[in-house]
Structure 1
Amino acid sequence: MEISWLNWLYTSVAWVLQKIHAGYSTFLAPDSGLNWALTIVTITVIMRILIFPLFMKQIHSSRKMQELAPKVQELRKRYKNDKQRMNQEVMKLYQGAGANPLGGCLPLLAQFPIFISMFTVLQAMAAGPAKFGMTQEFVDSARAAHIFGAPVPATFFTSAADIEKFGADPVVTKVVLAVFVALSSLTTFLTVRQSVTRSIAQMPDNPMAQQQKILMYISPFFAFFSLQFPLGLILYWVTTNTWTLVQQHWVYSRYPAPGAEEDTAKAKGSTGLMGKLKRGGKAEPEPVEEPPAPKIVRQQPNRQTRSKRTGSKKS
């Protein structure tokens, strides 16, 4: 999958990998699996931090488009017989509000060259000869490293003889790779499920909702293509999926969907303190029920009956 005009990017990724590995090598063995696992995780986190602004731009663009949805529906009804005019008016509306319909693709487009670069560099290290500015010592260190007993350059389809050349047990290597592929599949599903659930919550009447649900359940199977990827690349994929999962959870909770935001405010406002606030910012005091006044019981003296004729007391 090596693309010649991306050689500058491969060289850049290889340079960053070497610097991170050299940093960890100051207190870890250069050929240790922990060193290489930390190196791959660290470069993944660095790359995700660099494209985080694109993810935030995607969120803001998505919220703006959600808010503009009723106006877009009106334009589609008004110009339903003139598709060209309808598209022009819709784009004019988006531009006026600063919304970008392609904003949701920006993080994916940014991740693709990064993935290609990691794949190409790790494949080059697995092949053996140093490329893209890497030293032979650095490549040999990667080939000698084992993560949980599996060689970093090995794939699930690497032959037993080649795995033994890396100084590893073929059975252990296959098991470790299978576990990492399963983790890749699981994190892919959870990430897509989180995104689809939010999308459906934003637009319950979205005609593409059913297709999105189907994609949610199909997406984990694409992870099984990683069986042919080196262990180091699968570790990169699991790390980036985990990062996406945590990042989406944080952003979605911080920036809820417009509809969900209103529903939450209404639910809290109907019974809570926010529902009792006046425009002046002061809370209306709640009526206090006064306890019922105690009944006063007057004790009457016992009257003794008298005789009607004499007036004397009856004995």
Structure 2
Amino acid sequence: MYTAVAQVITWIHQGYSTFLNPDSGLTWALTIITLTVLMRILIFPLFLKQMRSSKKMQELGPKVQEIRKRYKNDKQRMNQEVMALYQGAGANPLGGCLPIVAQFPIFISMFTVLQAMASSPVPKFGMTQEMMDSARAAHIFGAPLPATFFTSSADIIKMNADPTITKIVLGVFVAVSSLTTFLTVRQSVTRSMQQMPDNPMAQQQKILMYISPLFAFFSLNFPLGLIMYWVTTNLWTLGQQHWFYSRNPMPEFDAKGNAIPVAPKPGLLSKVTKSKTEEEAPAAPPEPKVVRRQQSKPPPRSKRTGSKKS
């Protein structure tokens, strides 16, 4: 896996090097971003599988609430019935973990390859010495690509960089990485809490949401290139989930647990759909007119008797 990731990095870098400086930070930043996008496109079917499972769980919401009310005094039986309901419908409560688990091999491979670029005295994983020297010479906002927050000042100086500027740039990237991780988890947890507020799994995910900023303490040991990868994949996840959630709003339920149809959020597609629906909707029948007969007034008494007024 390390060799495969290193080879893909080499191909992408060679492609950008045809019109950019191969040793520039821009070339290497584009290489990492492109690798991230390709990887996310590769696991996009897993994202769709995750969303389909989530949609099924939303549809099963009223039945789950009914089971929880029926077995509220028997937690074990309640959990068994809920899991049996999910299995029967093909819904997986842990389906949201698939995209994250699928990224681990790429994440670990990139970590190992970038670490080799930063510290290995000899080429590794099929990379050439020229390739490794190019990565070490690349600076992004003045910080070397293989540097970590705890890289010694002497090693940073060997990379022709200023230690203070490097620490500041890495600190900013770590903060952005922590923030995007928190926003990504919060987006998913908020959806789960709206779906089933009393679900124990949703409560655990809520705790995870507040723990996620601690990722910053671990990413201090990551090379700058790996932090860039993590920020890019978080931004992709935020946009991808927003795209899906905006077109699949959460169903609402009445007091009896029946689903209430929810219109999609305002947007270009929703406006087109609304206008089309209005055009196809049959016109309401006109209200019937009430015909009132006017009663003729009786003639004056003088006319009825034929007498004239003197």
TM-score (norm 1): 0.76
Q: Tell me the equivalent position of 1:96.
A: 88
- In the TM superposition, what is the alpha-carbon distance from 1:138 to its structure 2 partner? 0.8
Q: Tell me the residue number matched to 1:117.
A: 109
Q: Does 1:205 align with 2:189?
A: no
Alignment of 1:59-70 (within 5 A): 59-70=51-62
Matched ranges for 1:6-85 at <5 A: 9-74=1-66, 77=70
- 8 A contact 1:79–1:86 mirrored in 2: no
Distance 1:203 1:78 in 2: 16
Contact 1:63-1:258 within 8 A present in 2 as well: no
- SS of residue paired to 1:242: helix
* Structure 1 residue aligned with 2:283: 283
Aligned residue for 1:143, secondary structure, equals: helix
Q: Note the alpha carbon deviations across 1:264-310, whole angstroms, 9 max, x for none.
A: 44999xxxx98xx89x94132688xxxxxxxxxxxxxxxxxxxxxxx
Shift of 1:85: 10
Q: CA 1:84–1:264 in structure 2 vs 1: closer, same or farther (change >3 Å)?
A: closer
State which structure, 1 or 2, has the greater radius of gyration over its C-alpha atoms. 1
Change in CA separation of 1:282 and 1:137 when aligned onto 2, cut-off 3 Å: same
Correspondence 1:233 to 2:220: no
Partners of 1:216 and 1:43 lie apart in 2 by 27
What is the percentage of aligned positions where both structures have the same residue?
72
Q: CA RMSD in A?
A: 3.0
How far is 1:158 from its partner?
A: 0.5
The answer to whether the 8 A contact 2:247-2:264 is kept is no
Q: Which runs of 5+ in 1 are unaligned?
A: 1-8, 288-315
Aligned equivalents of 2:169, 2:75: Cα separation in 1? 58
Cα 1:286/1:165, change in 2 over 3 Å: farther
Instruction: Name the counterpart of 1:180.
Output: 173
Please give the alpha-carbon distance, in whole angstroms, between the structure 2 residues aligned to 1:102 and 1:203: 14
Structure 2-normalised TM-score?
0.78
Is there any run of 5+ residues in structure 2 with no aligned partner, and where?
A: 254-258, 267-272, 288-310
Partner of 2:147: 154
Q: Give aligned pairs, total.
A: 271
Aligned to 1:228, what secondary structure does the other structure show? coil
SS of residue matched to 2:283: coil
Which range moves more in the overlay, 52-61 or 38-47? 52-61
Contact 2:249–2:265 (CA<8 Å) still a contact in 1?
Answer: no
Cα deviation 1:49-82 (Å, max 9, x = unaligned): 1111111111110111222233345556469869
Q: 1:194 & 1:156 partners in 2: Cα distance? A: 29
Aligned residue in 1 for 2:157 = 164
- How far, CA to CA, are the matches of 2:173 and 2:264 in structure 1? 44
Distance 1:41 1:22 in 2: 14
Q: 2:134 aligns with which of 119, 124, 141?
A: 141
